[in-house]
Structures are given as C-alpha cells and as structure tokens.
A and B are shown apart, each in its own frame.
Chain A
Amino acid sequence: MPQPEPTLPNRGGPLAGIRVLEITKVWAGPYAGKILAALGAEVIKVESATNLDEMRAYGGVDINSAPYFVSINQEILSVQVNMKTDEGLELVRQMVAKSDIVVDNIRPGAMERSKLDYEHLKEIKPDIIQCSIKMWGTDGPLGYQTGYAPCFAALSGLTNLVGYEGETPEGMNIRYGDATAGAWAALACIAALNHRDRTGEGQFIDHSAVESMTALVGDSLFAYALTGEVPKSDGNFHPEICPHGAYPCADGEWISIAAADEVEWLSLCRVLEAGSLAADPRYAALARRLENRHALDAALGALTSTHNAGALAEALRHAGVPAFRSQSSIDLCGDDWLWGREGFRMVSDHKNGSRPIIGPSWRMEPDMAKVERGAPLLGEHNDYVYREVLGLSQERLEDLVARKVVE
C-alpha cells in the first residue's frame, strides 16, 4: 500500500485549519500573510519563476535566499503557477475553492482581467473572503493610481505631522507604512472570518494603503474636526507632558524622557543633580515649563550630554521617571530583552540551517502557533498543494511542470 504523503506539521494557534491564498508581492501583502501564518493559518503564496516577487530579487542573486524575502515570509508555503496561462489560472481557481481567504495586492485591474476578482471568486466559493490591498482602494476617482509607501504616508496626513517645529515636515523614515498596511489587511481578514463564523457569509474587503496611514493619526484629525485648528509637525512636543523629548547623551547617543507630573519632574532634576532647574521659577509648574520649553530642553540637553544613555535611562526609571535609550538598529540587534522574550528568534533556513527573524509581537497562552520554518524555496510546496490539497495525480503534476504551467 502506498503511504499518504507526509502532511505539514501541526503548528497549532487560533487560526489552525484556516487556509489563505496569498497573491501578493513586495512588503504589505506578504506582511499580511506573515501575520495570518503566525496565528496558525496555512498560508499558500502563489508564485511563478517568470513573475517573481521582487523581494526574491533584491539584494541578492539567489531567489531562494534573497535577504528581503527570507526576512518576511516565515511559515509561508510556496506553490508555483504560471498565471499568464489559462490552465494556470484554472489551477489558482481550484486553490481558491479549497481556501477560506484570498489576499492580493496586484495592481488595479489585474485581478479582474484574470477573473480573480470577488465577483468571480464567489462563484467558485460562495463564502470566500477576499482582501485586495491597493494604494487608494479598488475604485473611485483616484483608484487608478499606484505608488510607493512614502507617497501613501504623504497623502495620508501622517507625514505632515512628523518633523521639527517650524520646519518643512519630513515624515517618518521612508520605510514606514508598508508593514502597517499589511497589518490592517490581516485584521480585516480576521474580522471577516468572525462574520463568516456567525453568518456563513463571505465578503470582499477593499483596503486602502493610504487610509492605513490616515487611521494612525485619527485623534489628530478628530481634534481638527473638534477645534478647527490644523495640527502641524511639532518635533517632540506634548501639550501635557513637559519635559517630553529626546536629549543628547555621550558618544552620539540619545535618551527619551517624559516627565508627566511634578513628582516626575522633581525626580528628573534630582537624578540629573539639577537643583537650579528645580528651583527655577520658569519651570515651577507644567504651564511654565511649556511656556519655556525651548530653554528647558536646551538646559536638559546640556546636562544629559555627558551621560551614558542606557545608564541614565535606568537611573531615571528607578527614580520613577519614564525614560529609555533611543535605540539604533545595532542596539536592537543586541537587545537581551528582545532575544530573551523571543522578539527575535531562530527559524530554519535552507541555505544556512537557521536564521534569526523578528517574531510575532504577541504571545498566547495556551495554543501559540509555532513559528519555526523560514521562508520557502520557490515551489517548495508544489507537491503538497497539487497532490494533497487539489488531489492531482503525480502524472498530471509532472505534465504541468513539463508544459511550464507549473514553473
């Protein structure tokens, strides 16, 4: 008797048993898949050698160990399909029939042309959940536009709020935005899954990457609606906490400090041995400190500049003042707390045996899904998807490979 194919490991997690088809590229879409996989879903990434995810090409030559790609796609399965062939599209439709959720971030119009838009998908599987991630959503007067994450941030209202007081706004680092858009997509998919649990009904999720950033400044937008005052980039200003900022330390480091009340303010002065600041009438109450905050920031910066950032932050925290070193990428890479809590963790890696990755932001007890396998080789799970999930014969699969429908 032939033995059944070895099935995939049982990883557990709250989304165990949910299958996601991911037709995505670059960062936002794959990030959504990563989150769903980290919650236990089986996420199958539809790929093709002739239409690669750019992340398999950036920064390297080997498409199976490209650094960007292996940094994101943990616990993702890879199946190859040439979606430029009708036969390939038919195979994708068969995968849809066996899936619960489809996530895509292909440019406007492409899913419709391939008959993989929601109207077609629900004919294949009436309760399918589809989430399409687009710059501006799927329709509307600007729906045709495509762009880049820093453009989304600029359009969203977020960039305008980041920068130094009185200067041209500069926005968050240029890398900000893609991952958040993906996180929103994962959230929306799981909301829809709850709706399906309750009603049996699937649905279409029309996701906007621009709005993904707008949502993050909701309170500032609502404050404008309430007061009529247009918020601007404001450095590290906080209207109710002063001091509130990042201050220079020795060796080019910085420390963030926020003293929320009089007790914290006086404790800060004590740790910095700044009796003259504590006694200065210009800083005698929150309102006075806010009025004179530029002078106060300069005075504090002069005091912090000789300190080691990590040691000063620890002394301040023990004195009851919220403070933390402003961590650089190299500080983060060596952060014992993050390693100890598995914020950074090791997964398998085809090339090097193992690789550190950035783990999920959550822990669950009980039934945390396992995250152990690194990013897949291109087509690593062809056998699983075609033989086990779709039930094709070995001969049929070999024929599809020979004719480059699976490539």
Chain B
Amino acid sequence: MSGALEGTLVIEVAERPAGEYTAKLLAELGAQVIKIERPGGAPTRMMGPHKDGQSAVFGFFNTGKKSLVLDLAKPADRATLDGLLARAQVLIDDHDEAWGAAHGLTSSGVAAAHPHLVHCIITPFGQGAPQEWQMAQPINVINAGGWAYHSPTEAKEDKPPLKGAGRFLPDYEAGIDAATCVMASLHRQRRTGTGQLIDISEIEVQINRIDCVLDRLLAGDVEPSRERTAYDMGGPATCFACKDGHVYLFMTTQGHWQALGNLMGNPGWFGQFKPDWLEFHCTKDRVDEFRTLFRPWIASQDKLAITEAAQKAGLAMVPINTAADLPKNEQFIHRGFFQEVAGLMYPGLPFRMSASPPRITAPAPLLGEGI
C-alpha cells in the first residue's frame, strides 16, 4: 500500500522543529521530502541528547527525509534550489521574513517565480509581525499564548508558568496545523494547478487549542481575570504519587465517589463526605481534605494494579505513563504506535489509515545523504 501523499515532492528549507515536524508528517504520509541543509548541517543536529554523535532531536524530527547541502548565499546553489522548486509541489519554511528576503524566498517572490507551489511559512507570530518578535523560542511562544500562564492546573501564584512537555510543544502543535493546511492546499492544487501561501502563526495555534474556554472570556460570557486558574474546572482531579510512580484521578460524580469507596474498602473517613459532595458541595476545603486523606493510601498502591482495578470499578484513575511504560503498553503494541526503524523504536502518528497507512520509511539522513 502506498502513502496518501505518494508522488508529492516537498522541499524543506526549515531549520527549527516547527518546520521540520511539518515536513516529517508529510514524509510519514508518503511525500518525498528533501531537506535543504546549510553547510555544516541543520542547527537541530547540534541539539542533544546525543548518542554516538546522533542527535535525538534531529533524529526524531527528520525521519524519512533526504538531505541536500546547499549554501543559499551562492548563486549556483540558489539556482539548484529553484530547479527543485520548479518540480516540487510544496515548500516548507520556518524562518522570519528577514531571512526570506536575504535568501530570495519572500512569499511574493516565491509566488511570482513558482505560482504552482504550496508555500508554507511557520513563524512564532505570523507574517507581518515585528522582526524582533520572530526570534522567539518555544518557551516564549507558549508563554505568549497563555498555556504556560495557566499550567499546571491550580497553578500557584509563586510558582513559574511552565513550558509544557519537553522543549517543543508549540512546535508540534504548529506542525499539525501547517501539515493540515498544506494537504488541503495540495487538494486545491490538483484542481486548479495553482499554489497558495500558507502563513502559520504559532501563537494563534496556541490560542486556537483553548477555543471554547478562552472564547467565553473574550465574548464576556465569563469575566476575564488575571487568575492563574482561569482555565481550570475545579474538582479534585489531580496527580498522586503511588508506590512505583504516579496516577491521575478524575472524579466528578456521585458514581465516581462510590466507585472509589468500593476500591478502597470504604474507609471510615468517607463518612466525613456527603455521597454527592463532588456534584453539589465541591469546595476547595473539601478537595484539600479529601486529598490529604487519600494520599497515604494511594502512596502504598502499585500503579498498574490499582488503576486496572479502578477502571473495572468504573473510576477514571489511570497510570501516569512514562517514556519507559509506553512501548510495553498492550494497547500501544496492539495499534503498532511505535515503529522499529534501523533497530530503534520511533513513535508514530496517532491514527491508523486502512488504505494508506503512515510509515516512517527511513531514519533521519546523514548530512547530504540520499540525493
């Protein structure tokens, strides 16, 4: 079976995880991706951790691509790029406008020279933003976009906003929207023969992912505030330490409360709470009291055994899985989420496709490999 984007040629001049992830997604869906690297290699090759000289960051974000080294300041190399763009369908970039101007890759210049091309540019704040904004690192993007300020849930006034999981959460989110738009535009290109400029703003991806919470504040349905907890839902849901790791407990109903009681053998202190307290008497004091009483018990439980028993009892208590847990998880194994390539396990895409299954075709290229 072939990939969904079989026969599509993508040229990537991106040098950050945002653009690299966009093109990686297209590669996994069947496109041929040629990554243009500066002499000496992409900046992400320098990002650790490294093993035997291989960067985990570059190694992950560049699977299935070919590498071509070009010095875009040299006319001959720049002409090579134009030759590639003439026969490609897509160009992926994630530099600011000054870089585009310096390398003859402005949006208007590309549209004039290659009107058939789908040209996607991903920047922190979108085209037209002040130049000095566009050097933002992912931590600046996630702070500018509100998720950091409002994370974790029940954020404390004296604890800093958080950057999210890993270093690149906003890059992933932007890459999803970028790849989505590129593929929509490819559908259009097939009908019209013409391309489009796709201008992705990373901060707008951030605010889009909180639409039905933030928009109610924006529209005045809920009073906006400076509260760190403005996105929260209330209730006792949180993470707890157990014997061999952590679990997450989510409870909102009387049924959940009964299920927890049954799971714990209905300890005496349950009598301090009304059966329907989660629905009608869920104050912060009661939540704190519950957690204080629950913590010693859950601390003595095994992560997998207790969460499996909880699921069977109708309680949404789940293990907080680690990177080491996932490749061993029976459901991830069943779905084939991890794919082995050249002896290493790579996380794949979060969906299976019956006719054009996504696939990592090769590890990230060595510098200049594959052309």
Interface residues of A (CB under 8 A from B): 13-15, 18, 27, 31, 34-35, 39-40, 55, 59, 67-68, 70-72, 118, 131, 136-137, 139-143, 145, 147-148, 150-151, 154-164, 168-176, 179-181, 183-188, 190-195, 197-199, 201-212, 214-227, 229-232, 235-236, 238-241, 244-248, 252, 254-256, 258, 260, 317-318, 320, 322-333, 337-338, 341, 343-344, 355-367
Contact = CB atoms under 8 A, between A and B. Distances in A.
B271 interface: no
Contacts of A208: 335, 337, 350-351
B102 interface: no
Interface stretch (B73-81, B182-190, B257-265): B182-190
A235 to B, nearest CB: 7
Contact of B214 (A118, A355, A358): A358
B152 A162 contact: yes
Given A173-B150, A364-B197, A197 B190 contact: yes
Contact of B204 (A143, A188, A230, A359): A359
The 10 closest A-B CB pairs, nearest first, are: A211-B350, A170-B152, A203-B355, A154-B248, A256-B143, A71-B215, A140-B334, A14-B188, A161-B165, A223-B56
B225 A329 contact: yes
A39 B350 CA distance: 22
Nearest to A144: B311
Given A215-B172, A317-B132, A174 B232 contact: yes
B215 A154 contact: no
A168 B160 contact: no
Contacts of A231: 166, 322-323
A156 to B, nearest CB: 7
B64 interface: no
B177 A170 contact: no
Given A183-B176, A185-B351, A323-B140, A246 B203 contact: no
Contacts of B104: none
A225 B324 CA distance: 9
Interface majority SS (helix, strand, loop, mixed), chain A: mixed
Given A157-B326, A328-B149, A367-B188, A221 B137 contact: no
Residue picked from A225, A235, A241, most chain B C-beta under 10 Å? A225
A195 B213 CA distance: 35
Interface residues of B, number: 152
Interface string B319-332: 11111111100111
Given A184-B176, A235-B162, A330 B225 contact: yes
A244 to B, nearest CB: 6
Contact of B145 (A212, A227, A327, A355): A327
12 contacts: A15-B187, A118-B354, A148-B316, A162-B164, A170-B238, A171-B152, A174-B232, A190-B183, A191-B5, A218-B60, A337-B125, A363-B127
Contact of A260 (B8, B137, B358): B137
A173 B152 contact: yes
Contacts of B152: 162-163, 170-173
Contacts of A226: 49, 51, 54, 56, 59, 344
Interface string B128-150: 11001101110111111111111
B266 interface: no
Residue picked from A118, A219, A326, most chain B C-beta under 10 Å? A219
Interface string B235-266: 00111110000111010000000000000000
A179 B165 contact: no
Contacts of A330: 217, 224-226, 230
Given A184-B350, A214-B326, A225 B334 contact: no
B179 interface: yes
Contacts of A174: 153, 231-233, 237
Residue picked from B153, B204, B324, most chain A C-beta under 10 Å? B204
A276 to B, nearest CB: 23
A361 B200 contact: yes
Given A240-B47, A359-B204, A329 B230 contact: yes
B253 to A, nearest CB: 12
Contacts of A358: 207-208, 210-211, 214-215, 218
Contacts of A360: 204, 208
B161 A192 contact: no
B4 A195 contact: yes
Contact of B140 (A13, A55, A180, A324): A324
A31 B181 CA distance: 15
B139 A256 contact: yes
A141 B334 contact: yes
Contact of A246 (B17, B143, B201): B143
B212 A68 contact: yes
A64 B261 CA distance: 39
Interface in B31-48: 46-48
B222 interface: yes
B209 interface: yes
A204 B132 CA distance: 45
A362 B200 contact: yes
Contacts of A156: 321
A193 B190 CA distance: 12
Given A236-B163, A324-B143, A175 B213 contact: yes
A396 to B, nearest CB: 34
Residue picked from B199, B230, B349, most chain A C-beta under 10 Å? B349
Residue picked from A34, A142, A154, A205, most chain B C-beta under 10 Å? A154
A194 B355 contact: no
B296 to A, nearest CB: 14
Contacts of A143: 331
B146 to A, nearest CB: 5
Contacts of A365: 107, 111, 196-197, 199
A359 B212 CA distance: 12
